[in-house]
A and B are shown apart, each in its own frame.
Chain A
Amino acid sequence: MSFAFTVNGEPVEVEATGTRRLLDVLREDLGLTGTKEGCGEGECGACSILIDGAVVDACLVPVSQARGASVRTVEGMADDGRLDILQQAFLETGGAQCGICTPGMLMAGDAFLASGAEPSEVNIREAIAGNLCRCTGYTKIIDAIALAAQRSAAS
């Protein structure tokens, strides 16, 4: 079957069975390998992407559910190679170590910033609770999201 949707603003059309995981469609059919797989069962959040602004685990979403939707992945964040505010904040605070959870964390953080919620520590912890990180202990990730929120508010 054929499924049309947009990825990072670009219209795409893929031929796939409707149950093919959106994660595989992104990584293998569209070559967008920035989205990672950590567990394949919705526990780790490494494959977090945004569908119409909502954070979802791409390993749990069949491509049929993306029909007509607006999909955002990590590849859509940097503008012409320039890191966006959130990515830059991760770089400066040390929010990325091994980097494998980072694309998913960025998506969760991106949705949090877009929500306009108060960037308190407890709110940020809640926002990234579905994304496991084994390297950082989360402190510097939280610092990064708070810094990005502060810079966004100032700009």
Chain B
Amino acid sequence: MERPSLTVRSLPPGVIAPDTQPLVIPTDAPAAGRASPAPPLRREGPAKLNGSAMYTDDLVVPGAWFGATIRSTQPHARLIGIDLDDAFDWSRVVVGTADDIPGENIVSLIDDDQPVLVPVGGEIRHQAEPCALIAAPDRATLAEARRHVALRCERLPAVFDPLKSETEFVHYTVERGNPAAAMAGAQLVIEGTYRVGHQEQLYIENQAMIAVPREDGGVTVHGSLQCPYYIHKAMKRALAMGDELAVVVQAETGGGFGGKEEYPSVIALHAALLALKLKKPVRMIYDRHEDISATTKRHPAVVRYRSGVSGTGELIAQEIEVIMDGGAYCTLTPVVLSRGVLHAGGPYRCENVRITGRAMATNTPPNGAFRGFGAPQTEFAAEMQINRIAEALEASPLDLRRRWVYREGDVTPTGQVLNESVGGIEVLEAAAAESAFDRTHAQTRSMREGRTDGARTATGIGLALAWHGAGFTGSGEVRLASVASLELTEDGRIRILTASTEMGQGTKTIFPQIVAGALGVDYDEVEIAPQDTSIVPDSGPTVASRTAMVVGGLLIRAAERMRAAVETQSGRSFADSYGEVGPMRIDEQFVPYPGEPFDDERYTGDAYPAFGWAAAVAKVEVDLDTGEVAVRDCVSANDIGRVIHPILAEGQVEGGTLQAIGYATIEEMKLIDGRYLNDRLATYMIPTSLDAPRLKSILVEKPFSGVPHGAKGIGELPMDVGAPAVVAAIHDATGVWIHDLPATPERILMALTGGPAVPAPGVSMEEPAPRTPPIEDLPAGGDKMPFRAPTDPGEPR
């Protein structure tokens, strides 16, 4: 892009005057200001460490059969028939189709568009779409049966590019001030188009569910999942069951990251349908190939951005257009887009903003929740713009952010006044200081200027800043109306009852910790009930960085009520008397946080109860011959409100940061004919210990007063800053901007040398997939070992 002529050469220094000194926690020193300097050990840690923790596939269910899913191998087609080959004795297995669904053929979520199974005569909208189910008493029989079923289809035209799709799921507009007029008066206008592709959650435990039919006509599913009550709702609808008949129990869950938010409803319904038909338990355990082929990914997005800067160095206008690829069905796309739109401006003060968002349908597997939930896509674009503006102004990217970052009292594009808990400047300063940003940036600059043609590597440093709304967007928490409960059991035990799941982030540790603190008892005295819908209330899904803040806040209020009730009754301290007072149960329901209610139609008001703030500084080394990037160092500073458990919090920051580094550098799904091409762990790479830098996390505390413990969300926040920091560092090293994620060697070499064009991320190649020949067609004497064709996901092992 041509650089516009500049009248602004340097900026006046930014004002740094935080109203309150935040508590910055040095992560290698004991945490100050907390009651218990040594946080409790992970509650379920010993079981995970000695191998006794029971994940879904570890559960022994006597008499269980094995289930498999017959999926489409077309991106868009009419299902004409399901052909069962007479050569197989079908009495040995059970086959399930849409005809077996007792209720509505809908996977209930936001929209009612996704069928549990495509009926004969129905429309197949993506590769890997479930059309039939088979259950068999053993894996060998199941594999044999699968080979004798075929889907007869009539192919229909497919759409893979969201920019060419004519089917829109949803659109939003956020507008404040007069961006068109302000842009016309800007001294500097920077434009950019940024594209990001799919990202796979890649929890190490694949999706898994076991359905057990019960004598009362109901069914219990045990599975790897984040949101028991989402599945409960889906079961009630598709299986035509009442509240008590459908039961969902979480097994130990080996990672989720959003990937086990909505998809478990699909696999639970499949397992339950087979179990009800068979009248025996059925195990549906995906292998990695089926999991990558069929389950949701992070939404690809195209973000078109225009920023206007005034002659006095203020950000005066932003015009942003976000287009997301929802895939074939709606799933959670409206809320992902909503969060993406609401974060697209970045954490910067700007009076004139227009953000539009559209989510389009394509004939690819549905995209869904993944840590960050729309924000990493749009904040990557926002940070690219800020870094490119800094370059154009010849200003320090650090100084520019110091000047523009939101301070207390500033107003967001939806008109939300940021009254408190605004830690943007503090995380920025903490990350800059820890990484010696200014000094290193000056060094890398002189290295770049002194570099000779024969140089083989280049070193760079990059900075990014982000905000992330904690909890559900807009009026979401009000609609959820979550309940968390606390009970004193008949035999005098304290027990927490919530549907919030543990998937590694620490729910089962921090809940007893904060309840024990509120009750004045030891951590070990507080139990936590299993996440079983027949036992626990609906405290909402375990998503949106809401568990510690929202459900944790409800639990503290429940504990305060229980403590008062017990102490009034006994006349003694709770700790001394609770064993004599039960049974008692306190149900605490969400009441709206103070603030301006969000208008879902006009997109104005308080979009989130509070925001977390994050800054990251990455240092990279780029191989100038190969274009490979090694991230050498990464500092991430995060304002998460009051820190509950420093070790678990750091764990969230470090893990989220490495996922962001993977997103920035190596993680790319490639598609052909609408199916994922690199649908195995051998071909979809995530960072190993050798790819990962040493990660340094800094926790900054700017408490949120809307909850008694002052905690804000943490889980998603670090995911927003890692990628733009890495790409800024690549630019610092090489002088080229990479507009598309991931910044693969191909894209870097193309930018450096003008080499062959690299296709945009996230868009399927049109050619039909090359088919592996059937085994009987292989030449005699060749390799006769059975193999799985790449178009046949999910053959049981």
Contact = CB atoms under 8 A, between A and B. Distances in A.
Interface of A: 27, 31-41, 43-44, 46, 73-75, 77-78, 81, 83, 87, 90-94, 96-103, 106, 121, 124-126, 128-142
B49 A44 contact: no
A132 B692 CA distance: 11
Contacts of B15: none
Contacts of B650: 94, 140
Contacts of B49: 74, 77-78, 83, 87, 90-91, 96, 99, 102, 106
Interface of B: 41-42, 44-55, 57-58, 60, 201-206, 252-257, 287-288, 503-506, 647-648, 650-651, 654-659, 680-682, 686, 688-690, 692, 694-695, 797
Given A132-B686, A140-B654, A36 B680 contact: no
A99 B254 contact: yes
Nearest to A104: B204
A98 B253 contact: yes
A141 B457 CA distance: 30
Nearest to A86: B49
A8 to B, nearest CB: 10
Chain A residues touching B, majority SS:
loop
Given A38-B205, A44-B204, A134-B255, A99 B680 contact: no
Given A41-B288, A134-B203, A139-B694, A97 B651 contact: yes
Contacts of A138: 658, 689, 692
A128 B689 contact: yes
26 contacts: A34-B52, A38-B205, A39-B682, A40-B287, A40-B288, A40-B797, A41-B681, A83-B50, A87-B50, A90-B45, A94-B42, A94-B647, A94-B650, A96-B48, A97-B255, A97-B651, A99-B47, A100-B203, A100-B204, A100-B255, A125-B690, A130-B688, A132-B204, A134-B659, A136-B655, A140-B650
Given A134-B203, A137-B655, A97 B504 contact: yes
B46 A91 contact: yes
B42 to A, nearest CB: 6
A137 B503 contact: no
A39 B291 CA distance: 10
Given A34-B51, A39-B288, A91 B42 contact: yes
Contacts of A90: 45, 49
B636 to A, nearest CB: 10
A25 B369 CA distance: 36
Contacts of A33: 51, 54-55, 57-58
B203 A98 contact: yes
A59 B642 CA distance: 44
Nearest to B656: A137
Contacts of A132: 204, 681, 686, 688
Contacts of A91: 41-42, 45-46, 49
Nearest to B636: A137
Contacts of A41: 288, 680-682
Contacts of A31: 60
Nearest to A43: B681
B255 A125 contact: no
A140 B651 contact: yes
B222 to A, nearest CB: 14
Contacts of A78: 49-50
Q: Give 9 nearest A-B pairs by CB, closest first.
A: A34-B51, A100-B254, A98-B504, A99-B48, A97-B504, A137-B654, A137-B658, A33-B58, A74-B51
Contacts of A130: 688
Contacts of A37: 57
Contacts of A124: 689
B96 to A, nearest CB: 25
A95 to B, nearest CB: 9
Given A33-B57, A40-B287, A41-B288, 18 more contacts: A36-B55, A41-B680, A44-B681, A74-B49, A83-B49, A91-B41, A98-B203, A99-B48, A101-B254, A121-B694, A124-B689, A128-B689, A133-B689, A134-B201, A134-B655, A136-B654, A137-B655, A137-B657
A17 B503 CA distance: 36
